[in-house]
Amino acid sequence: MTAVSDPIIRVRGLVTRFGTHTVHDGLDLDVKQGEIIGVVGGSGTGKSVLLRAIVGLLEPDAGQIEVFGQSVRSTSDAEFRALRRRWGVMFQDGALFSSLTVRQNVEAPMREQLALPDDLRETLAGIKVRMVGLPENAMAKYPSELSGGMRKRAGFARAIAMDPEIVFLDEPTAGLDPIGAAAFDILIKQLQASLGLTVFLVTHDLDSLHAICDRIAVLADQKVLAVGTMDDMMQVDHPWVHEYFHGPRARAALSSAQREGAQ
């Protein structure tokens, strides 16, 4: 059992390569239980690669990855299946099965991992769909019949289908208009608080970092260059980090966050 003071995710010395291209070289990261951590970095720094390595979808070349105190890389198949039930993943744009309805998409993890009666599984799927703010009639729709924001909410519903302790969200607000992105940030924060989730959030959205993240991890130079609060990021002396957190878009996001805080 992982103690509250221990990291719920622990990465040490991670090395990830694709052919001769090294993405991560000795990457270390701790994620605290109950926090929302935003993972940022320039294009090609391996944000999504890191997420996939942690959840076991990608085999790194070296390093240790522990979730809930258990090694992701050296567990048996049965142990990994039990471990996987404790997290949920939402990939970019929801990554829904195009041939399944929203209800069937949300039911998919339950079908795979639980032996439930059909009526109970359908009821549970309906609860998850309502939790993410989708209307009842969305249950019977196919992904092609949904807006981008609705697809992302359906993907989030599937990610929490198994009542996970951790959710991994890969660019959840990408492609959304500012109003839709802000609404999704609120949804993440609400579900994190009500369900007691730890949230691993890969994002480039400065508004999300200001609005909901407890800490930020910056990937640069094949490592986690810095981890800390937004205030900590403002003090980091690195060209990319300085440009990202002090540039025009960063100033606009900070101004927006300050206005929200004043209301």
- The answer to whether residues 63 and 11 touch, using CB atoms and an 8 Å cutoff, is yes
How do residues 158-185 score in pLDDT, each as one tens digit?
A: 999 999 999 999 999 998 998 999 999 9
How do residues 55-92 score in pLDDT, each as one tens digit?
A: 999 999 999 999 999 999 888 888 998 999 999 999 88
Q: What strands lie across the sheet with 21-32, from one edge to the other? A: 21-32, 7-18, 62-67, 70-71
Rounded CA-CA distance 208/184 in Å is 9
- The answer to whether residues 165 and 1 touch, using CB atoms and an 8 Å cutoff, is no
CATH 3.40.50.300, applies to 33-63+84-261: yes
Its pTM stands at 0.91
Token pair 């196919």 is found at 142
